Copies of this chain bind each other. A is one copy, B any other.
């Protein structure tokens, strides 16, 4: 819980009562490896914060291949914002890649926080905007760089991920085949 509060305070001020209110609304959720936090085709109804473990967002492209869109590490919010906010069906799965411990807020509790805490909406907007900009920034280089540099960049961006997830997830994140990734890894050693 402490890490969540610290995380939130980076984006704005909250007084002790407000912090207390937030803490009261959060419930702990444990996900086992491979379980879903939210699913494509359903409306996302909760906001999560990863305390322990790695999750990923993935979808199936028009060839039916599973594509990892990004990884979410410890101390980050996990929410399908578009689905959650607009109450539309999600197009992606959010899946635990390792066993995970999360703090979650239900949609109603989240809404109550928005109605109760002055400035909460600003904090949330800042968090979401920052996350979105980060996604753009991380995705962009994937287009222009060659596969080796993409992998090196991946290692920089997610230094704690590569040894904790299947390489197939990494290769689909990088947009290459598993064998290509394997060859790249060999060349780099």
Contact = CB atoms under 8 A, between A and B. Distances in A.
Interface string A141-166: 11111000000000000000000000
Main secondary structure of the interface of A (DSSP, over half): helix
A81 B144 CA distance: 22
Interface in A105-139: 121-122, 125, 128-129, 132-133, 135-136, 139
A171 to B, nearest CB: 10
A95 to B, nearest CB: 17
A172 interface: yes
Contacts of A136: 132, 135-136, 139
B172 A144 contact: yes
Given A125-B125, A139-B139, A67 B144 contact: yes
A15 interface: no
Contacts of A67: 144
Contacts of A121: 122
Contacts of A142: 139, 142-143
A122 B65 CA distance: 38
A17 interface: no
Contacts of A128: 129
Contact of A129 (B129, B141, B145): B129
A156 to B, nearest CB: 13
A139 B132 CA distance: 12
A143 B133 contact: no
A82 B140 contact: no
Contacts of A135: 132, 136
Contact of A140 (B69, B132, B141): B69
A133 B132 contact: yes
Contacts of A145: 61
Interface string A58-69: 000100010101
